[in-house]
């Protein structure tokens, strides 16, 4: 058997591959050994296959080259449904399901096409061929039209990066309805090769809401539990901050568009205090508010896997975490520069 140089290189590449299919590697080794002049019996012993297998692939390669080393097409099960049925399945999956259901299942599609007599498994195969997954739904948000979005985002980022000399820059927001939950049974600590285990069942002890002000320049945080998330509570918090801050300093605050922040009472208070300057985040862009970074850390380190005996225990842990945070507080490194992202 003779093999040209290009084919030999390809066979050697397959035979030495760790990712190729085992059967492809075996067939390549058979042909290479045959090209080297080895007998069928020697090749069979070396590759650990039968002599008949060696004969088969030598003959297939001699007749068709590399194409002959591929599996022959099998007839398989005869096609039960034509293009019309496949089109009906796809059309059903991409249409609205019947009232009151919200998503299609394979069984529901098969039942909907009952006169055709198609199985749910066959429906699944047809949908898989078309990469259709009607049971999966992803959410998305239609952003409100905000012509000055980038200007407002850039203004907030400029404030973070270049705070006015001698001014106080605060990022303020609320975190509401924090659940105080205790597990019914104790968990299991982490062990080598096994993550920590936490009891699934829990007992509810109510909720806690807090309001927080992050000093963007120093990274320090001030939090306070609140019973109502309304304008009166928010203005009371602003009044407390106003008493704590040197009256000679300008105060710049970043707020989202929550109802307590945009209420008439709040706007009136801010208008009566000319040292307070507000930067409003654009709609659906509260992530521009740096205090959200603190809330994210708080959730990961205290709340997500926390166990709280009651509301007072939760409040105590929230306060303790804030105090500990302030002992080593550093400003967050703000990397977003307020300009539109450009496609690569």
pLDDT for the residue numbered 297: 95
* Residue partners of 28: CB distance under 8 A and separation at least 6: 11, 12, 14, 15, 69
Q: Phi/psi at 227 (nearest 5 deg)?
A: -95, -25
CATH of the domain spanning 149-327, picked from 3.40.50.2000, 3.30.420.10, 3.40.50.300, 3.40.190.10:
3.30.420.10
Strands 221-226, 251-255: parallel, antiparallel or unpaired by DSSP? unpaired
Nearest to 127 by CA among 80, 73, 85: 85
Task: Please list the ranges in the chain whose pLDDT falls under 50.
Answer: 343-344
> What is the distance between the alpha carbons of residues 174 and 234, in angstroms, rounded to a whole number?
9
Radius of gyration of the chain (CA): 34
pLDDT for the residue numbered 342: 57
CA angle 95, 101, 102 (to 5 degrees): 60
Residue showing tokens 């049925």: 85
Nearest to 81 by CA among 131, 115, 132: 115
Burial class (CB in 10 A: 0-12, 13-18, 19+), 238: buried
Phi/psi zone of residue 284: left (φ > 0), alpha (ψ -120 to 50 degrees), beta? Answer: left
In this structure, are residues 240 and 220 in contact, taking their beta carbons and an 8 Å threshold?
no
Token readout for 256 is 């989202």
Q: Where are the domains of the chain?
A: 5-69, 83-129, 149-327
CA 66 to chain centre: 44
In this structure, are residues 178 and 314 in contact, taking their beta carbons and an 8 Å threshold?
yes
**3-state SS assignment for residue 334:** coil
Nearest to 89 by CA among 123, 117, 137, 114: 123
Nearest to 234 by CA among 220, 213, 218: 213
């Amino acid at each position: 058997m003779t093999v040209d140089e290009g084919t030999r290189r390809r066979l050697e590449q397959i035979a030495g591959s760790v990712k190729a299919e085992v059967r492809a590697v075996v067939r390549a080794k058979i042909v290479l050994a045959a090209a080297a002049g080895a007998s069928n019996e020697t090749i069979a012993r070396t590759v650990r296959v039968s002599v008949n297998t060696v004969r088969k692939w030598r003959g297939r390669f001699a007749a068709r080259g590399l194409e002959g080393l591929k599996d022959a097409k099998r007839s398989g099960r005869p096609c039960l449904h034509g293009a019309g049925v496949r089109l009906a399945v796809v059309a059903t999956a991409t249409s609205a399901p019947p009232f009151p259901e919200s998503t299609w299942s394979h069984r529901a599609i098969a039942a909907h096409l009952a006169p055709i007599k198609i199985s749910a498994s066959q429906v699944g195969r047809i949908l898989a061929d078309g990469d259709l997954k009607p049971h999966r739904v992803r959410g998305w948000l239609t952003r409100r039209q905000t012509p000055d979005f980038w200007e407002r985002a850039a203004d907030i980022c400029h404030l973070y990066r270049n705070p006015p000399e001698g001014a106080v820059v605060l990022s303020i927001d609320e975190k509401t309805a924090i659940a105080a939950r205790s597990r019914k049974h104790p968990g299991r600590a982490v062990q080598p090769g096994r993550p920590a285990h936490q009891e699934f069942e829990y007992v509810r002890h109510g909720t806690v809401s807090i309001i927080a002000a992050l000093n963007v320049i120093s990274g320090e945080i001030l939090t306070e539990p609140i019973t109502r998330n309304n304008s009166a509570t928010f203005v009371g918090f602003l009044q407390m901050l106003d008493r704590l801050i040197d009256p000679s300093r300008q105060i710049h605050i970043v707020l989202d568009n929550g109802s307590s922040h945009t209420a008439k009472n709040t706007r009136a208070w801010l208008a009566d205090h000319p040292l307070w300057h507000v930067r409003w985040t654009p709609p659906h862009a509260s992530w521009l508010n740096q205090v959200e970074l603190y809330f994210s850390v708080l959730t990961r380190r205290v709340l997500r896997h926390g166990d709280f005996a009651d509301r007072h225990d939760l409040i105590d842990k929230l306060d303790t975490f804030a105090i500990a945070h302030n002992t080593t507080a550093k400003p967050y490194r703000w990397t977003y520069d307020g300009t539109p992202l450009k496609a690569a």
